[in-house]
Structure formats: C-alpha cells, structure tokens
Structure 1
C-alpha cells in the first residue's frame, strides 16, 4: 500500500500535517498484514481504496473493521470509540477540523460492523482528501 496511513482514521485526518514515526509505520504494516490474513482480502483492493477507488467487496469491508479494531478505534459492534480517537489526534494537527470530520463520519451505520467500518473509512477518506485537493486561498 502506497500510503499506509490512509486506512487509519486519525492518521488519515492528520496525515496532511504530520509524518508518521517509524514505530507507527511498522504497527500499521503489521496490522495490515494481520488483517489481510484474517479477512482474505486481495491487497490490490486495499491499494485501490488508498487511491479513492472503493470496491463494494465484503472482504474489503471486513478488512476496514479489522484494521480499525486493531488500532483501537472501533469496538466489536463497529462503533467508533470517540474518546480513543480524540486522544490520538496529535497536538500539531488542526484539532477542530479533525473533530468536525470525526463527528460527521462517526454516525454512519451499515448492515453489519464490517460495512459500518467501511462507510466510516470512506467518509474520512473523502473528507480529508477533498480538503487536501482544495486550492490554497489567494493572497
């Protein structure tokens, strides 16, 4: 996966303003590998999702759930653990903007925990990447 941070919601939110430590990168890689094994998802689908091409594949949805749970951001029912997410927003990030995106996306619900995690991830991706794609204001 070209940008491992994309799959983790808080890391996605702050990826515009921070660099991941080597330890964070290794943990993300480890979680990705474990979740690929657990779900049987084709890694190509993860790479495509990283670029904004979201497949409706059930295994990809369960990968999102697995990954967020390993990161500590979701419980077994697929509910966002908002206090954990807030704690992991780095000090240098735009906390107000990050919290607004979290609030917007956290209420999405799918038919099961896998779909809920997937919908939340897609929402975060679309909101953080839309912001990154906006042109800088003119002086």
Structure 2
C-alpha cells in the first residue's frame, strides 16, 4: 500500500493528496465496519475528527483498536507493530519526527486491546500523525 500518514478512518474530505481513491474507499469501509462493531457514536468520532476534546470511553477505545487493527498498526493480540507504523508514516518526514511519533505511541498500553487502541490513537492524534477521511 502506498505510504501515507497513519490513517484513522474518520471524516474529512480533500486532505488526501497522498491517498488513492481505492485507499479512501477502503478506509471508509473500515470506519463503517468499526462503527457498527463497537456502537460508538459517530458524533464522538466526528468531534475527534475536528480536534475537539473527547473522552476515550470503552466504545471509542474499541473503535480505535478496530481501526488500528484493520490498517495493520495493531496486531490481533493488541500489540503494536512498530514496523507497520513506521511504514505508514510519510516518507518525506525527517527520521527524528518518525522516531518521535513511533517511540511516543508504541509504549501506550492499556489493560486490554481496546484501551491500548484508545491510548495509541490518542497519541497519534496528539502528535498529528493521523489522517482523517469521510
């Protein structure tokens, strides 16, 4: 898959010069599937999308884990695949920025895979290493 900013399939069009139409379609499918699977409110996901403060409750945590698993950053056992995370960061980022993001986010661990997903996604959002799609 073409290298791109770590993707959290949410909701904003037009910010994806680096993503193909096929990748955007796939990410939308992931979002729809994870919304249905976790029961998280799309309103909460949309708040996260626009940078509003959100509480990472059980549903949002599980949504986060679901998305991260679908894009391959999180393994089925809930651990983070550091190499996949690195591969998904933009190739034009300086190595020190890649290292900062990966090192900061890979150590975010919760009591289960859902909580870990929420912590990792929160970290990725904080470091501005996520892209959002409709």
What is the TM-score with the length of structure 1 in the denominator?
Answer: 0.74
Question: Runs (4+) of structure 1 moved beyond 4 Å?
Answer: none
Q: CA deviation at 1:70?
A: 0.6
Q: Structure 2: how far apart are the matches of 1:41 and 1:125?
A: 18
What SS does structure 2 have at the residue aligned with 1:128? coil
Q: Is the CA contact 2:7–2:71 (under 8 Å) kept in the aligned structure 1? A: no
Radius of gyration: which is bigger?
1
What is the TM-score with the length of structure 2 in the denominator?
Answer: 0.76
Residue 79 of structure 1 is matched in structure 2 by: 79
The number of residue pairs the alignment matches comes to 119
Q: CA RMSD in A?
A: 2.4
Residue 51 of structure 1 is matched in structure 2 by: 50
Structure 2: segments with no counterpart, 5+ residues: 9-14, 130-134
Kindly indicate whether structure 1 or structure 2 has the higher relative contact order, using CA contacts under 8 Å at least 6 residues apart: 2
Q: Structure 2: how far apart are the matches of 1:109 and 1:80?
A: 9
